[in-house]
Structure 1
Amino acid sequence: MEEAATGGAFSAILNGLAWFFGNIAMSFYNLGYALTHPASWLDWSNSESVMRFVYYGASVELFFVILTTFIVLTAIGMWRHSVMWGMVRGLEAFHNTVGRVAAWAGLIMVLQQVIIIFVQRIFARPDISFGFGVPVTFDVSWWSEELKLYNAMIVALCLAYTFVQGGHVRVDLLYAPAKYRTKKVIDMFGSLVFMMPMAGLMWLYSWYFLWRHLIVPKPSASEGLERLVMKARALRWNVETIGFSPNGFSAYFLFKILIVVMCGFIFLQGVVFFWRSYLEWKEGPESEGKYHDHDNLGPGEEAYDHAEF
């Protein structure tokens, strides 16, 4: 009995390893096929292409394509540090640019709130119109609820930017007194074990949460590609336009899109943080903060670098 159990466990391990490395090998083919046959998943005039896009957006195939790409790029970067530094600088610049642009939503939100108050209290108007020629006109309550979209944009699009700028407060008793190289090991471990897997898990839930409010029949994460392609025969767009009030904001699907984008940004920043931590660990204390594009808040004021208490 013990020998049978040991043999079964050994066989299961071998099967698992074969499945893992088999998917790693297939990821090269899957990526190549997706790039050379974009119409099979990007031609949204074809309902089957839409369902393929939905399936592959949170599939095992996509997971292994991303994993393999990460492994290959990391291996190249370990061989040539200049390549890894280039990827770090490029992705951090991307997150900084997106965050700095999205941060202006805060000003827009304040100005729009002021306009709403003036229209309601001074001009006693029930609606607000923006634009010339064919203006966009909605009820005041629509514009009031739409303010939440600006909040969501700031949160979703500025998370990675804030991380790059060191704006997230870290409260700990072990990290602060640790040695330089120990800190970098902790950062690499946190990126691989916590940040990237959590972003991936959030993506899986938010992906189908988004598409269940865009199309019918509603897709499910438990359905395979064949099943979804079969359901494509009855596919039609059913974009969520229900507000919390009769005349309220009617584009709540935008919030769900922002959730998916946020998860992607967090995952990318986890990758960047791992690469930066590795390079700073490998090259020593003199490389800490290398190529950091920190915002200057004013004369004598510098952005916090992972504020600690």
Structure 2
Amino acid sequence: MERLADALDGINRGLARGVRWIVVAMVLIQFAIVIGRYVFGVNSIAAQESVLYLHAAFFMLAGGYTLLVDKHVRVDVFYAHLSPRAKRRIDIFGHLFLLMPSMLALLYWSWPSVRNSWKILEGPMSVGGIEAVFLMKSLIPAFCVLVMLQSVAILIRLLRSPGTP
């Protein structure tokens, strides 16, 4: 089971190594947009939308990695002061009854929109924009799957660790 958890971790680690370059591209494109607009008086809707697409891709594809490295949002007003055993119980409960059902619901409810977007190859959000809204919408199920895979890896480790309730 540990090998399965490691393999699932590897998916998000590998993806994170590639996705981090999206931030570099995003900064460079935004810099070019600013220079183009204020120095040369040139503007491009497609270039502006590309920053939006890259931003969406970065955050949606890095969701599983964020969970892996434990940098996700956590309300630890009480959690920080609990024993390791109590933290493990809360983590197991959270993964099984909050995170997984939320991801499944998001996947279920977003799928018709994603499917329809692919069916018509949904075009740009703005006139002159990038003709690939269907690709951006595809980030939603990708996010759900990556977070659920990472959640399974974490659950495997939580349930195999000593002192599990």
Fold match (TM-score > 0.5)? yes
CA distance in 2, matches of 1:276, 1:259: 26
Identify the residue that residue 243 of structure 1 maps to in structure 2.
125
1:252 aligns with 2:133: yes
Amino acid at match of 2:125: G
Of 25, 33, 45, which residue of structure 2 is paired with 1:108?
A: 25
Of 28, 31, 51, which residue of structure 2 is paired with 1:147?
A: 51
CA distance in 1, matches of 2:78, 2:42: 58
**Residues 246-305 of structure 1: CA deviation (Å, up to 9, x unaligned):** 21232111111001100111111221121111122458xxxxxxxxxxxxxxxxxxxxxx
SS at 2:81 equivalent: coil
Q: Once the 2 structures are TM-superposed, how far is the Cα of residue 158 of structure 1 from its aligned partner?
A: 0.6
Identify the residue that residue 64 of structure 1 maps to in structure 2.
none
Could you tell me which runs of 5 or more consecutive residues in structure 1 were left unpaired when the two chains were aligned. Answer: 1-83, 127-139, 216-237, 284-309
Q: Could you say which structure has the higher strand fraction?
A: 1
Q: Once the 2 structures are TM-superposed, how far is the Cα of residue 116 of structure 1 from its aligned partner?
A: 2.0
SS at 2:117 equivalent: coil
Amino acid at match of 1:178: L
Identify the residue that residue 63 of structure 2 maps to in structure 1.
159
CA distance in 2, matches of 1:243, 1:205: 21
SS at 1:212 equivalent: helix
Could you tell me which runs of 5 or more consecutive residues in structure 2 were left unpaired when the two chains were aligned. Answer: none
CA distance in 2, matches of 1:119, 1:167: 36
1:267 aligns with 2:148: yes
Cα contact 1:102–1:158 (8 A) shared by 2 = yes
CA distance in 2, matches of 1:143, 1:173: 42
By relative contact order (CA 8 Å, sep 6+), the higher-ranking structure is 2
SS at 1:104 equivalent: helix
- Percent pairwise identity: 28
TM-score when normalising by structure 1? 0.50
Q: Once the 2 structures are TM-superposed, how far is the Cα of residue 177 of structure 1 from its aligned partner?
A: 2.1
CA distance in 1, matches of 2:149, 2:45: 37
Identify the residue that residue 181 of structure 1 maps to in structure 2.
85
CA distance in 2, matches of 1:213, 1:93: 30
Cα contact 1:187–1:273 (8 A) shared by 2 = no
Identify the residue that residue 211 of structure 1 maps to in structure 2.
115
Q: Once the 2 structures are TM-superposed, how far is the Cα of residue 167 of structure 1 from its aligned partner?
A: 1.1
CA radius of gyration, larger in: 1
Identify the residue that residue 86 of structure 1 maps to in structure 2.
3
TM-score when normalising by structure 2? 0.90
Q: Could you say which structure has the higher helix fraction?
A: 2
Cα contact 1:200–1:263 (8 A) shared by 2 = yes
RMSD: 1.8
1:95 aligns with 2:12: yes
Q: Once the 2 structures are TM-superposed, how far is the Cα of residue 149 of structure 1 from its aligned partner?
A: 0.7
CA distance in 1, matches of 2:157, 2:133: 36
Identify the residue that residue 168 of structure 1 maps to in structure 2.
72
